[in-house]
Amino acid sequence: MALRGKADKLGVLFVCMGNICRSPTAEGVFRHRIEQARLQNRVLIDSAGTHAYHIGQPPDRRSIATAAQRNYQLNGIKARKVVPEDFARFEFVLAMDRDNLGALQQLQPPDHPGHVGLLLDFAPDQSLREVPDPYYGGPRGFELVLDLIEAAADGLLLRVQERLEQG
């Protein structure tokens, strides 16, 4: 039995620490991919953080600017913290790194039938397995985050399409 989020949509949740750099970028990129595939009425996409540092704040201005350069919009995204109910709403709960994955696994109910893992599991050709946090670095870090997320978004889109076909 597949998990379904709001309005019976398949749910995808992206998670990093503060929900202002990596996970909102992943949300924006994947939302774009889903819209291009004309699946926006069938997929619920969101992002959250494992920590409550930035609740209610928009994404980091550097994330917004870097995403906009590649025609991704992060408008309307506000930081929030992961809550236990997310595991009932989202079939795919994807962490940007192993530390956040560990935090998610601590929250994950034992009966959650969905996929909880690393986003870069969907980019097997990438040498990195974690999306590095660009917060304390320069512009190149934000570019790398987008490169990695774009690579994973393509693989994730294929998996989501397969799940939708399975019903």
Ordered by start, the domain boundaries in the chain are 6-166
Position 7 scores a pLDDT of: 56
d(CA 82, CA 52): 9
* Tens digit of each residue's pLDDT (9 = 90 or more) over 57-69: 999 999 999 999 9
Which residues does the annotation mark as catalytic?
16, 22, 133
Q: Is 1 helix (H, G, I), strand (E, B) or coil?
A: coil
Tell which CATH architecture fits domain 6-166: 3-Layer(aba) Sandwich (3.40)
Nearest Cα neighbor of 98 from 120, 123, 83 is 120
Position 1 scores a pLDDT of: 36
Amino acid at 51: H
d(CA 144, CA 147): 5
Q: Count Cβ atoms below 10 Å from residue 133 Cβ, excluding itself.
A: 18
Indicate if the pLDDT at residue 5 is higher than 60: no
